Amino acid sequence: MKQIEDNKLDYCYIDASHAYEDVKQDIEITYNKIKSGGIIQFNDYTNYSICENLKYGVFDAVNEFIIKYKPRIIGLSLANQGYHDLAVQITK
């Protein structure tokens, strides 16, 4: 991602580490790469993994991002075990 120019991507799907600090870093890097009108989709938008019996930081990191940047929420995919996806449209 660091090699991609800023404001070049139309879409990015974030699905990597679920640790809070890692997710925050992924979001900040991705936000700089997405152009205005572009979409970021977050995988595993949850605060707990029932399969791993583990706290996830995705929910908190994404919610902080939403409060800070106020993107338009355009999609929410609900999964029966709680591993949801959330899609937002960025306005810069």
Question: What is the number of structural domains in the chain?
Answer: 1
In this prediction, residue 87 carries a pLDDT of 98
For residue 2, pLDDT beyond 90: no
Answer whether residue 60 is part of any domain.
Answer: yes
| pTM score | 0.95
Answer whether residue 18 is part of any domain.
Answer: yes
For residue 1, pLDDT beyond 90: no
Answer whether residue 33 is part of any domain.
Answer: yes
Answer whether residue 2 is part of any domain.
Answer: no
Structure-token pair, residue 3: 């090699």
Check: CB of residue 36 under 8 Å from CB of residue 50: no
Check: CB of residue 47 under 8 Å from CB of residue 38: no
Answer whether residue 17 is part of any domain.
Answer: yes
Answer whether residue 3 is part of any domain.
Answer: no
Tell me the pLDDT of the chain averaged across its residues. 97
Domain containing 43: what range?
9-89
